[in-house]
Chain A
Amino acid sequence: MNPLPEHPDVLWRNPEPKRSYDVVIVGAGGHGLATAHYLAKNHGITNVAVLERGWLAGGNMARNTTIIRSNYLWDESAAIYEHALRLWEGLEDDLGYPILFSQRGVLNLAHSLQDVRDSVRRVEANRLNGVDAEWLTPDEVKKVCPIVNTSQEIRYPVLGATYQPRAGIAKHDYVAWGFARRADEAGIDLIQDCEVTGFITDGDRVTGVRTTRGDIATGKVALCAAGHTSVLADQLGLRLPLQSHPLQALVSELLEPVHPTVVMSNAIHVYVSQAHKGELVMGAGIDSYNGYGQRGAFHIIERQMAAAVELFPVFARAHLLRTWGGIVDTTPDASPIVGLTPYANLYLNCGWGTGGFKATPGVGWCMAHTIAHDEPHPYNAPFTLERFVTGALVDEHGAAAVAH
């Protein structure tokens, strides 16, 4: 295991907002910060502000369960998530900062004959796309993760699993701080406690943002506001195919290392890994209703715990330490929207639903390219807003390893 990072005096400056920037990024989550980093690193664009209404990376970035994988079904998804995974593999060196990226593998369990067929199909599709993937029998699952209950007597027995050995987890806070530090070093202003409340427009261009710390003029605006993107787009009269939902997670007390990999189950919807410190980190599906309250319903937790204890009988004695919620924006085809908008200089990054952490470096890379060149990178080109009109959906709903 990697050592904890040294505590430097300051990780980044805390500047006053200037009155104008070449680029304004709304939202200092992982995606906004990664976009800032790659704008500086890949394109030499540094007259940039990242505006954050709360504290840096305190949104979904601070709330997610940190699972990183690229075993998606469709070519478009596999390409962007695999691009991200390759960047994750070199990120610690790029950022000069530990991120505790641990490639401990992910198992996606199958519990029905249809699950098995879908999973085997996905393994083949992954391999065709150069993504590492294997199909494991229940006995092989047991070898990778001995604590999984592979008894065929339980209500939803494990009939096998897909396995992506290069998948894993990373320390989400360090990831955000690493990107923030690099962006700050490049001269980019990270401005916390600065909410964007509206926009100033001139025809089909956005010429500035209104914020709780005054108006800021800008050449280009990138929305990286995750679950709150609709709230912002409404200010521009821009309707988006997004629905925001609460998504919950929870952790146990600290335990000895018992869980060597990441296990996900779509059918009974629980996923579990063990954090570096020792907590069992668990997530489930979204709460069904729209919500911005950063908390969810208790029955979701109850169902998730019931599933977890049946799959991992050893968890029965673990104590739940805390639960929390984030707000995720979902799209009709369960794929993100990353690219251009009807406004000439407004760029959109949203709709990542329950799964955007794994994309953090990849989407930052693509957003920076889109902003710098005024056109999408080949990896984000399929993820347009227009696809809902043309019908060229990237329908990962039934296809991805897990629902979003």
Chain B
Amino acid sequence: MQLIECPWCGRREETEFHYGGQAHVAYPADPAALTDEEWAHYLFFRDNPKGLFAERWSHSAGCRRWFNAVRDTATYRFHAVYRPDEPRPVSS
């Protein structure tokens, strides 16, 4: 079990959090213009990198707010946490 930092509450145990998958997947700007293929990519296709990944977490047993994190999927280490309205931090 690891500690995850909520931008509002600070460090809490992993069991308080819920995973939300890839971050920054924007709803299509002009939905009616999308082809079936573009819809499929919006609905079903997500990045799956071995390394740094920007993803969503919810502090579901705490403040219940969503936030974003950059986490390394090979080491599971969190490199950054940030609020949903903030851009992805540049990390190495």
Question: Counting CB contacts under 8 A, is A198 at the interface?
Answer: no
Q: Are B2 and A293 in contact (CB under 8 A)?
A: no
What are the residues of chain A within 8 A of B43 when measuring CB–CB?
Answer: 332, 388
Q: Is the CB of A292 within 8 A of B73?
A: yes
Chain B interface size, under 10 / 10 to 19 / 20 to 34 / 35 or more: 20 to 34
How far is the CB of A401 from the nearest CB of chain B, in Å? 23
Q: A241-B44, A332-B44 are in contact. Are A290 and B55 (CB under 8 A)?
A: yes
Residues of B within 8 Å of A291, CB to CB, are 73-74, 76
Q: List A252-301 residues whose CB lies under 8 Å from chain B.
A: 288-293, 297-299
If the complex has contacts A293-B75, A389-B37, A390-B36, are A288 and B18 also in contact, measured as CB distance less than 8 A? yes
Q: Is the CB of B48 within 8 A of A290?
A: yes
Closest chain B residue to A298, Cβ basis = B1
Pairwise interchain contact B15-A234, C-beta atoms closer than 8 A: no
| Whole-angstrom CA separation of A69 from B89 in the bound complex | 46
Pick from A243, A289, A292: contact of B74, CB below 8 A.
Answer: A292
Q: Which residues of B contact A242 (CB under 8 A)?
A: 48
Decide: A244 and B44 in contact? CB cutoff 8 A. no
Q: Is A228 an interface residue (CB 8 A)?
A: yes
Q: Is A239 an interface residue (CB 8 A)?
A: yes
B39 closest partner in A (C-beta): A389
Partner of B46 from A231, A243, A298 at Cβ < 8 Å? A243
B19 at the binding interface (Cβ < 8 Å): yes
Cβ of A389 and Cβ of B36 under 8 Å apart?
Answer: yes
* CB <8 Å contact, B76 and A293: yes
Task: Kindly state whether residue A240 has any CB partner on chain B within 8 Å.
Answer: yes
CB distance from B35 to the nearest CB of A (A): 9
Give chain B interface residues in 30-80, CB to chain A under 8 Å.
Answer: 36-37, 40-41, 43-46, 48-50, 53, 55, 71, 73-76
Q: Chain B interface (Cβ within 8 Å of chain A)?
A: 1-2, 14-15, 18-19, 21, 36-37, 40-41, 43-46, 48-50, 53, 55, 71, 73-76
Across the A-B interface, the 8 shortest Cβ-Cβ residue pairs: A230-B48, A288-B19, A389-B40, A241-B44, A332-B44, A292-B50, A388-B44, A388-B40
Taking Cβ atoms with an 8 Å cutoff, the residues of A that contact B are 228, 230-231, 234, 239-244, 288-293, 297-299, 329, 332, 388-391
- Contacts A/B (CB < 8 Å), 19 sampled: A231-B49, A239-B41, A240-B45, A240-B48, A241-B45, A243-B46, A244-B50, A291-B76, A293-B73, A293-B75, A297-B1, A297-B14, A298-B1, A299-B14, A299-B15, A329-B48, A332-B44, A388-B43, A389-B36
